[in-house]
Amino acid sequence: MNQITPVIRIVDSSDKDAVTRLVDTESRRDPGVERRVRQIVSAVRERGDEAVLEYAHMFDKLDGDVEISRAEMKRLAKTVEPGVRDAIRLAARNIRTVAQKQVPRGWRVTTTTGVNVEQRVTPLERAGCYVPGGRYPLPSSLLMTAIPARIAGVREVIAVCPKPEATVMLAALEAGIDRMFRVGGAQAIAALAYGTETIPRVDKIVGPGNAYVAAAKALVSRDCAIDFFAGPSEIVVLSSSGHPAWIAADLIAQAEHDPDARAILLTPSRRLAAAVARELERQLPLNGPARVALTRNGAIVITRTVSEAVRLSQRIAPEHVVCDDEQVAARLTHAGTVFVGDYSAQALGDYSSGSNHVLPTSGAARGRGGLSAADFVRVSTVQRVTRAGVRAIGPAAVALAEAEGLTGHAKSVRMRLGSGRDAR
Using only C-alpha atoms, the chain has a radius of gyration, in whole angstroms, of 25
Residue environment code for 155-170, b if the CB has 16+ CB neighbours within 10 A, otherwise e: ebbbbbbbbbbbbbbb
Reduced to 3 states (helix: H, G, I; strand: E, B; else coil), residue 148 is helix
**What residue ranges in 61-143 does DSSP mark as E strands?**
67-68, 107-112, 115-123, 126-130
**Which listed residue (174, 234, 279, 320) is catalytic?**
320
Tell me, what DSSP letter sits at residue 3? Answer: P
What are the φ/ψ torsions at residue 356 (nearest 5 degrees)?
-80, 140
Residue 329's contacts (CB-CB under 8 Å, 6 or more residues apart) are 323, 338, 340
**Which listed residue (256, 279, 319, 357) is catalytic?**
319
The alpha carbon of 378 is separated from its chain's Cα centroid by a whole number of angstroms, namely: 18
197 is catalytic: no
User: What count of other Cβ atoms lies within 10 Å of the Cβ of residue 8?
Assistant: 24
- Cα 136 to Cα 97, 133, 139, 413: the distances in Å are 27, 7, 10, 61
320 is catalytic: yes
CA pair distance 92, 79, nearest whole angstrom: 19
- Phi/psi region, residue 385 (left: phi>0; alpha: psi -120 to 50; beta: rest), is beta
CA pair distance 309, 311, nearest whole angstrom: 5
Burial of 415 (0-12, 13-18, 19+ CB in 10 A): exposed
User: What count of other Cβ atoms lies within 10 Å of the Cβ of residue 194?
Assistant: 18
Point out which residues pair with 181 in neighbouring strands. Answer: 67, 160
Maximum distance among all Cα pairs of the chain, rounded to whole angstroms: 98
Side by side, the strands of the sheet bearing 299-302 are 9-12, 299-302, 262-267, 234-238, 320-323, 337-340
Tell me, what DSSP letter sits at residue 221? Answer: T
Residue type, 4: I
* Helix boundaries (H) for 176-320: 185-194, 211-220, 244-255, 270-283, 289-297, 306-316
> Which residues form the catalytic set?
319-320
